[in-house]
Amino acid sequence: MVKITPVLMAGGSGTRLWPVSRKSFPKQFAPLTGKETLFQASARRLSGPGYADPIVMTNADFRFIVAEQLDQIQIAPGAIAIEPAGRNTAPAVLAAALMVARQDPAQLLLVAPSDHVIPDADAFAAAVQQGIAPATTGRIVTFGITPDRPETGYGYLELAGQGDGPQPLARFVEKPDADRAAQMLAAGNFLWNAGIFLFSAQTMIDAFRAHAPEYLEPVQAAIDQARDDIGFLRLARDPWEGLPDLSIDYAVMEKADNLTVVRFSDRWSDLGGWDALWREELISTPSDAGVVTDDHSTAIDCEDVLLRSDSDDIEVVGIGLKDTMVVATSDAVLVADKSRAQDVRQAVQVLKSRGRKQAEAFPRDHRPWGWFETLALADRFQVKRIVVKPGAALSLQSHVHRSEHWIVVSGTARVTVDETVTLVTENQSIYVPLGAVHRMENPGKVPMVLIEVQTGSYLGEDDIIRYEDVYSRDSSD
């Protein structure tokens, strides 16, 4: 059996699903359509007897999230590669091919975004099997989705042949207007471009050599100079930062003449907007009125609406709404006409220009040891809730501008303050003076929860001097 190495692309920000998806914690890591996250569902779909351990291409901010979510579903990665800077998908794909080619240039790679919804994993596996034969003979196989509507939000693939088997690609087609999309749907030989590719490592390296040779030397240098970082592969920054910022489609695929298309006709979505999630949820739970709600939402006399609350403390109620999306989190609410789903990213840009933290960051900040959220913030004090995972530890650190008071409300904390180590249990507290070298650990087997009260002239997260850290972070992490 031919084993395929999955390459999961997990570095995007997903701004069209704001406010649930943000730069600090994007949509691929959220459970948008079930109990598992989109990333976990993608990793599970590309695992099993026909697959090698996956390579995950991500960035430093998400490396611990990737590792934790893979561990939760008991999938061991072949590598979690950290891109030093965002340069789109072209260098990431080449890096994966070069890494695999070291062991076997003929090895097949399946590159896939980690935020797609494909409910029928067996049907997708059958489509991948169709692509193996052409991929082993030097073809680059791309997967096209049979369209069920004249969609203007996707690029298209025009087939050069007819039939259900693998077909040569005639050309890529950019996102069309509504009239052109309707014409392509009627023609029958146009498919949505899913951005999923199957190829051998050597085939992709040769494609870059022919069509984008400027990538080869710096990407190879970034791999050669890479360093192991507590189980992550951190690609070298200097050669990587000078790379062109291009997608694999623009850098290689649209220039190559050896592309084959495999048609996939089952359900698929890239969840490229709230309208796409509305459509997916309607398929799972049909509604004659087109109403999609969750446990914290209520629709009264509504039609074709999405009402969603991701906060246990916020109830969303819609009355007499039509073609409307309402999405609430603990710190932001989106209200939009459903036809404007693709414009949500404009809202993110406006919020960024106004300096609003909701544009990119959540109130809950995920860290490798757990998470924290701010409960109250004023000029000279801040109150946080901190949750530390069993066996986890914060860095040994100090602050220049603030002191801290910790009150344990659940579990037990082992606290170091200068030379003193103390066990602090529920309803007990401890004071950390300004400038003291300190560390907090959870020695127990259940999550430890505490309330932190900070006081001082500056309360930013960058006021940290780290002396030791089991996660090898610096002050910017």
Share of the chain above pLDDT 70, in %: 99
Q: Which domains does the chain have, with CATH numbers?
A: 4-264 (3.90.550.10), 289-353 (no CATH), 364-468 (2.60.120.10)
Residue 70 exposure: Cα atoms within 13 Å on the Cβ side:
22
pLDDT band at 1 (very low <50, low <70, confident <90, very high): low
Average pLDDT for 266-279? 95
Residue 218 preceded by cis peptide, ω within 30: no
Identify which of 435, 374, 430 has the alpha carbon closest to the alpha carbon of residue 403.
435
Strands, E assignment, 353-424:
364-367, 370-377, 381-388, 396-398, 402-410, 413-417, 420-424
Average pLDDT for 223-251? 95
**pLDDT at 290 > cutoff 70:** yes
pLDDT digits over 97-155, tens only? 999 999 999 999 999 999 999 999 999 999 999 999 999 999 999 999 999 999 998 99
pLDDT for residue 371: 95
**pLDDT at 477 > cutoff 60:** no
pLDDT band at 474 (very low <50, low <70, confident <90, very high): low
Cα 215 from Cα 17, distance rounded (Å): 32
64 with 312: CB under 8 angstroms? Answer: no
pLDDT, averaged across the chain:
95
pLDDT digits over 299-312, tens only? 999 999 999 999 99
Residue 189 token pair:
């030989």
pLDDT for residue 280: 94
Burial classification of residue 361, based on how many CB atoms lie within 10 Å of its CB (0-12 exposed, 13-18 middle, 19 or more buried): middle
Cα 38 from Cα 32, distance rounded (Å): 7
Residue 277 token pair:
């999630």
Kindly report the pTM of this predicted structure.
0.92
Residue 436 exposure: Cα atoms within 13 Å on the Cβ side:
18
